[in-house]
Amino acid sequence: MNRKARGDSIAAVQRAALAPYTVWAVVFIVVPLFFIAYYAFTDDSFRFTTANIVRFFTTTSEVVTEKGIPREVRTYLLIFARSLKLAVISTILCLLLGYPFAYLISRAGARAQKTMITLVMVPMWMNFLIRTYAWMTLLQDTGLINSFLGMLHLPALHMIGTEGAVVVGMVYDYLPYMILPIYSVMAKMDEKLIEAAHDLGCSSSGVLRRVVVPLSMPGVVSGITMVLVPSISTFYISQKLGNGKFYLIGDAIESQYTANNLHFAAAIAFIFMIVLLAAMALMRKLTGRRVYEGGM
């Protein structure tokens, strides 16, 4: 068998191996996105309309109902802005906490790496709702944290029902999604590059800034994506840890869906999806250019 035939055979095997994932992606990614777009641009009679999209940008006040409690929503743009603010804060905190921890894991021995990775993944084995309720128990005015402060004769803190509580819940739930992608990239990093940088007189901070950080950027981008997307679209954390005081974009989609306003719910999700895809494409382009240029 000549080289060309061998190459064609390998390519055919690779295509066959990718076939199950391709089918999965089409069925569970492409098809749902198509239906979201279809519902967003149709009315209840499934006739084409842009009214749902226009409504998102022009609605000035609307009364929605959550658990029978009337609530006034000023604009959906403000809802999106608040969701983006909390998601960005949570993502930055996850990055600041997760990056050094991922670096420590990647520099540790094989046995220590397994132990630390297990500790990172243990919370992910528990149900998402249980983890959220656990934080409710900790952050309540009569919760464990305030009980401990009372034992020390310190003033109690009001934490539940604040934006800080929502951010804490997001960071706790999504921190592993920041650590694992960065660790997976750092673990594959060529040690010879770091040794060469030291041999050429680069300081430890210089090695981190000029070698480690640029080479780890693909993991950072993946981690930011995996944290930002669920953070900005969450609704259960804001409902429980925020006591329903913070109406986020996920809450807006959920409330419209439960009210059977499927087309407007799809329009909100469609706009949200377009903004996220554009932001991620821009982020990947900028970080890819900086890695290619060889420095930060």
- Write down all domains in the chain, each with its CATH number in brackets: 76-293 (1.10.3720.10)
Residue 296's pLDDT is 44
Given this model, what pLDDT does residue 156 score? 87
Answer whether 141's CB lies under 8 Å from 165's CB: no
Instruction: Name the most confidently modeled range: 14-23, 57-66, 180-189, 202-211.
Output: 180-189
What does the pLDDT average to over 191-211? 80
Q: Which helix (H) or strand (E) holds 188?
A: none
pTM: 0.82
Tell me the mean pLDDT in the region 253-260.
86
Rounded CA separation 211/184 (Å): 16
The radius of gyration of the chain from alpha carbons, rounded to an integer in Å, stands at: 24
Distance of alpha carbon 66 from alpha carbon 254, whole angstroms? 10
pLDDT score, position 173: 92
| Confidence label for 3 from pLDDT (cuts 50, 70 and 90) | low
Confidence grade of residue 70 (pLDDT, cut at 50, 70, 90): very low
Q: Please determine, for residue 68, whether its predicted confidence score (pLDDT) is greater than 50.
A: no
Residue among 93, 51, 86 at smallest CA distance from 261: 51
175's CB contacts (< 8 A; 6+ apart) are 94, 97, 98, 227
Sign of the Cα torsion 279, 280, 285, 287 reads positive
Asked if residues 288 and 215 have their Cβ atoms less than 8 Å apart, the reply is no
Greatest mean pLDDT among 9-18, 91-100, 138-147: 91-100
**CB neighbourhood size of 173 (10 A):** 23
How far is it, in rounded angstroms, from Cα 205 to Cα 265? 48
| Mean pLDDT, range 177-186, rounded to an integer | 94
| pLDDT above 80 for 295 | no
Helices (H), 124-261: 128-139, 144-151, 163-187, 191-199, 204-207, 213-233, 236-241, 249-258
Comparing 245 with 44, the larger pLDDT belongs to 44
pLDDT greater than 60 at residue 69:
no
- Length of the chain, please? 296
What pLDDT is stored for residue 77 in this prediction? Answer: 83
Provide the percentage of residues in the chain whose pLDDT is more than 90.
Answer: 31
Q: What pLDDT, on the 0 to 100 scale, is given for residue 99? A: 95
175 pLDDT exceeds 90? Answer: yes
For residues 82-95, give the mean pLDDT.
Answer: 94
